[in-house]
Amino acid sequence: MKIQNYALGQWVEGDGDGKALFDASTGEVIGHATSSGLDINSMMKYAREKGESLRKMTFQQRGLMLKKLALHLFDIKDKYYPVSYKTGATKSDSWVDIEGGIGNLFANASLRRKFADQPFLVDGESHKISKNGTFVGQHIMVPKRGVAVHINAFNFPIWGMLEKCAVNWLAGMPAIVKPATLTSFLTEAMVKDIIASRILPEGALQLICGSARDILDYVNEQDVVTFTGSADTGRMLKSHSKIINESVPFNMEADSLNCSVLGPDATPGTEEFDLFIKEVRREMTTKCGQKCTAIRRVFVPEELLEDVQIALGQALSKTTIGDPRVEGVRMGALAGKEQVEEVKSKIKALTETADLVFGNPDEVEILSGDPSKGAFISPILLRENSPLKNKAAHEIEAFGPVSTLMPYRDLEEAVTLSRMGKGSLVCSIATNDSKVAQEFVIAAASHHGRILIINRQSAKESTGHGSPLPLLVHGGPGRAGGGEEMGGIRGVKHYMQRCAIQGSPTLLTEVTQHYQYGGDYKDPGKHVFRKYFEELQVGETVITHKRTITEADIVNFANVSWDHFYAHTDVTSLEGTTFEQRVAHGYFVLSAAAGLFVDAAKGPVLLNYGLDECRFTKPVYPGMTIGVRLTVKEKIAQEKKDEEDIAKGIVKFLVDVYDETDETVAIATILTMIKMKNQE
């Protein structure tokens, strides 16, 4: 059977026999994969051309597309487990890959609510450049007009694809996915369902299951390349002439020597000690240790070295190994026989200075599977007694169930040892001492992409050392590649081009569809609260009647709110302050502003549910007169939850409260939910 590629809108088999792919537990041939014969240059051009449909979609549309795809894949998720077992993954390993990957789609789909209903992003605040405010600047971000090329590792054939694609699709870029050939048959299985669903626009996804060959020869300045895998391979790809000469963004997430630290307070008998042992064992054996986030270095106080070695050995001894399709197996196989030999060679290099204290790389007891044909290996625990002197454990990674136990004298030395890995994806520390946590985190954060603090308070809900989260960055400095995958809006921006635009606030309002302060006001014809969502235009402004603030207003608000701060209620205490007399509460000023701008009768406005931002910029004293300019700042359409739901959208209004000198005294952005006229 041939593992297929998806190119130029169709499924195709590569030329020739290709590379044989094997069941990791039984050694049976699954199929053959090859990319020979694919016109990769045409695939790149096809993606860039067809990608226009993605680029034209708004963030709301792209987010709903991700949600629809996630729901579809979740409904059929069970079909992928039998395929995943062939990679050597257990059911729990497969859950992380399959449902974790689909979870990435859901998480990124929810990000749509943080974006305007536009194909582009208005990035950050506008900047007043000229004295009178007639010349301003604003950053926007637009989708790059290229293709995201994802070169993925073998350990997570589904999660590795979906974690990246969810972000580039939300940003408006198509993708070409190149999974590691070894486990590409699982990626192929899901991509077939994605393509068959027709949820993605044409050209949004292509798949290469064989060698990536010369794919980097065809990238250009609008493309983005991401790589997950070994640091050596990543550096080789990153130095490609096209990447350098065309300044192609290259995001590298490399396998790293992640570490976990037992805090000095986490002694035997404490909950943190037990949590630490559990976490290290789990990270050694989950996915048979084939995780870029797995714990490779274990640092413990020198006086607890024996205790940890014994406890960890006892925990590892309970690990049952074998074919993941058999009940009772807790650790499956490595992805292939070649991985077994690779791991053994790294263990041999590590044991030149470290002692083997648990397991045997040449002997493994299994419950099921073929020991001669399957890629099985025992968990291996090493002990390096001189970690400052002997550096192999900080430089050599055995990509399997292998960790090295090392002592430290004090917390400062623990930080030093953690840094000797020269950059990692993740580090963790088990401690219930807030001072220990702060000292370690602040000192170690420069060398790690993520730090997990393990303690009794978060243990029940913690996702663990090895679990990257879609809305937080996944990446790390130095050896870890220097890249950042995912990370919520930060991750989306990686696939977009930032551009500074300059001009008058009126013109920039029209370009961005985001009201720029100082821009011309549009006459709405009637109060904006009387207009449906579709009828409102950015820039439409209601200029209210005015109100003079009295001392009685301030006293009454203090009594109603119970806010008796001295500046509002005790004029004898104002000496040495910035206030000249009794000052109105900022929230009273905002409340008074609402009284001026609200149209009270029932209409399309359904509710007001909060503030995005609010600033009180000038004191308001009794006798001052305020007015309000209420301007449509931004509009975001919302989808209906079901047939019975009301069609509506979110409108952000700029509330500019000014005094009799026309100077702003308070400014805020309020969020309102407004009914759509068209309820279809």
**pLDDT at 472 (0 to 100):** 92
Please tell me the distance from the alpha carbon of residue 334 to that of residue 17, in angstroms, as a whole number: 24
Please tell me the distance from the alpha carbon of residue 240 to that of residue 242, in angstroms, as a whole number: 6
65-84 pLDDT per residue, tens: 999 999 999 999 999 999 99
Best CATH choice for the domain 2-122+142-254 from the list 1.10.3720.10, 1.20.1530.20, 3.30.830.10, 3.40.605.10:
3.40.605.10
Q: Hunting for tokens 């050597």 — which residue is that?
A: 88
Residues 6+ apart with CB under 8 A from 155: 183, 287, 290, 291, 292, 335
Active site (catalytic) residues: 253, 292
Closest of 27, 80, 88, 79 to residue 323, by C-alpha: 88
Residues 6+ apart with CB under 8 A from 618: 659, 663, 664, 665, 666
Longest dimension (CA), the chain: 92
How would residue 213 be classed by pLDDT, with cut points 50, 70 and 90?
Answer: confident
Sign of CA dihedral 443, 446, 447, 451: positive
What's 22-64 look like in SS3? ECCCCCCEEEEECCCCCCHHHHHHHHHHHCHHHHHCCHHHHHH
Residue 619 parent element (H or E): none
CB 29 within 8 A of CB 132: no
Best CATH choice for the domain 259-469 from the list 1.10.10.10, 3.40.50.970, 3.40.309.10, 3.40.50.2000:
3.40.309.10
**Would you call 630 helix, strand, or coil by DSSP?**
strand
CB 166 within 8 A of CB 228: no
Closest of 316, 309, 5 to residue 185, by C-alpha: 5
* Percent of the chain predicted with pLDDT > 70: 100
Distance (Å) of CA 473 to CA 87, 449, 463, 486, 491: 27, 7, 15, 5, 7
What's the mean per-residue pLDDT of the chain?
95
Q: Hey, what are 27's tokens?
A: 């050694």
Closest of 321, 467, 476 to residue 400, by C-alpha: 321
Q: Hey, what are 464's tokens?
A: 């663990």
Closest of 571, 664, 587 to residue 618, by C-alpha: 664
**pLDDT at 640 (0 to 100):** 86
How would residue 17 be classed by pLDDT, with cut points 50, 70 and 90?
Answer: confident
577-592 pLDDT per residue, tens: 999 999 999 999 999 9
**pLDDT at 649 (0 to 100):** 93
How would residue 450 be classed by pLDDT, with cut points 50, 70 and 90?
Answer: very high
Least confidently predicted of 245-249, 378-382, 436-440, 641-645: 641-645
**Would you call 231 helix, strand, or coil by DSSP?**
helix
**pLDDT at 231 (0 to 100):** 86
CA 279 to chain centroid: 23
**pLDDT at 276 (0 to 100):** 98
Please tell me the distance from the alpha carbon of residue 63 to that of residue 110, in angstroms, as a whole number: 7
Question: Residue 680 pLDDT > 80, yes or no?
Answer: no
Instruction: Report helix angle 91-110 to 159-171, nearest 10.
Output: 10
**pLDDT at 150 (0 to 100):** 97
> Mean pLDDT across the stretch 114-125?
92
**pLDDT at 634 (0 to 100):** 94
Domain boundaries, given as residue ranges, for the chain: 2-122+142-254, 259-469, 521-675
> Mean pLDDT across the stretch 541-545?
97
**pLDDT at 303 (0 to 100):** 97
Beta bridge partners of 669: 613, 654
Q: What does the DSSP 8-state code read for residue 151?
A: E
**pLDDT at 644 (0 to 100):** 87
> Mean pLDDT across the stretch 229-245?
92
**pLDDT at 619 (0 to 100):** 97
Question: Residue 484 pLDDT > 90, yes or no?
Answer: no
Please tell me the distance from the alpha carbon of residue 365 to that of residue 348, in angstroms, as a whole number: 20
What's the CATH fold of domain 521-675? Thiol Ester Dehydrase; Chain A (3.10.129)
Sign of CA dihedral 67, 72, 78, 79: negative
289-334 pLDDT per residue, tens: 999 999 999 999 999 999 999 999 999 999 999 999 999 999 999 9
550-574 pLDDT per residue, tens: 999 999 999 999 999 999 999 999 9
How would residue 106 be classed by pLDDT, with cut points 50, 70 and 90?
Answer: very high
> Mean pLDDT across the stretch 31-53?
96
Please tell me the distance from the alpha carbon of residue 334 to that of residue 399, in angstroms, as a whole number: 9
Distance (Å) of CA 510 to CA 66, 70, 505, 633: 29, 35, 9, 11
Determine how many CB atoms are found less than 10 A away from the CB of residue 555: 15
